[in-house]
Amino acid sequence: MESIKDLDIPIIVGPTASGKTEIAIRFAEKYGYEIISADSRQFFKEMNIGTAKQSNYELSRAKHHFVNFLSPLDESYNSYTFGIEGRELIKNLKKNGKKVLVVGGSGLYIQSLVHGFFDDLGISDEEKLYFRKEVEKRDIRDCFEDLLRVDEEYALSIPKNNVQRIHRGLEVYYLSGRKMSELHKEHKKQKYFNPIYIGLSLEREELYNRINERFDTMLKAGLIDEIRFLSDKYGIDLKRLNTTIGYREFIPFLKGKIDLEEAIHNAKRDSRHFAKRQITWFKRIENMNWVKNSFETIDKLFGYKF
């Protein structure tokens, strides 16, 4: 089996609208890299405008992996699977003499790729199934309060409405007696390869302006028509539509519950909040190199490592 333990892999991260896609492509063009995308919403076909997915032109400039390969109906693909498949891809690329860099804003997926996940806590599938059925009967706010009580550090690191991660935190605690926050700290010591983290830094006002302006561009490009198409094809209650920022805010509009102006306001607000959470996540990564979001600056500082 091809080993990647001593392989240096650049990982370019940053909040939404920070310009990481273009910077990664320019590095790939200059240094001959293939790109692994770690933006989980860009995995899905037909969700193009609202996810700021790479254009056909951008995809033609560098070989991309993990873009446009899942149906919006797919609910089984997760960060654990991504980590396994991503590392297998890296091994195959190395075997064939090819270089790879990672770019994305989905912190949990990047963590899975670099560190993997703890999947053996001595909990049987039967125990997990029974616990999940029971916890799903509870109000999510009650579950979050429960998680705050038993593992405050982990609870405060995740969104209050992230059902999957709240349930997982409770499952781990009540079935294994361990805290997710402690497990994460222990697990970070394991690395499958050597990541060279490059974090794109922007002043908050500049970032928020970029988010607002990019969303206006998405609207002009036909975002609402894309949402209507997806809701007509897959149903307006499609989970992927109702959990993805930039899409979910328009479902009440399509149902006639709010006007368009309110939907746009909510989408921009949620995008800014999401960017703030992304920055918080990336600031927790050890050995993160924060630099201005400029290809020239990054190339000057890190080009020798590429």
pLDDT tens sequence for the chain (306 residues): 467 999 999 999 999 999 999 999 999 999 999 999 999 999 999 999 999 999 999 999 999 999 999 999 998 899 989 999 999 999 999 999 999 999 999 999 999 999 987 666 778 889 989 999 999 999 999 999 999 999 999 999 888 888 989 999 999 999 999 999 988 787 777 899 999 999 999 999 999 999 999 999 999 999 999 999 999 999 999 999 999 999 999 999 999 999 999 999 999 999 999 999 999 999 989 899 999 988 898 888 887 777
Q: Which residues of the chain are in CATH 3.40.50.300 domains?
A: 8-118+188-203+286-305
Assign domain 125-184 one CATH number from 1.10.20.140, 3.40.50.1580, 3.30.300.20, 2.60.120.260.
Answer: 1.10.20.140
113 residue type, one letter: L
The CATH 1.10.287.890 domain(s) of the chain lie at 206-274
> Is 63 exposed, middle or buried, given 0-12, 13-18 or 19+ CB atoms closer than 10 A?
middle
Alpha carbon 268 to chain centroid, angstroms? 18
- Tell me: the pLDDT tens digits for 135-159? 999 999 999 999 999 999 999 988 8
**What's the pTM value of the predicted model, to 2 decimals?**
0.85
Q: Which CATH class is domain 206-274?
A: mainly alpha
CA distance 25 to 240: 27
Helix, strand, coil share (%) of the chain residues, nearest 5: 55, 10, 35
Residues with Cβ within 8 Å of 137's Cβ and at least 6 positions away in sequence, in order, are none
| CATH 3.50.50.60 is the classification of domain 8-118+188-203+286-305 | no
Output the CA torsion sign for 78, 84, 90, 96: negative
Beta strands in 59-193 (DSSP E): 64-65, 99-104
List, by residue range, all CATH 1.10.20.140 domains of the chain. 125-184
Q: How many CA atoms lie within 13 A of 98 on its CB side?
A: 16
Instruction: Quote the CA–CA distance of 303 and 306 in Å, as a whole number.
Output: 5
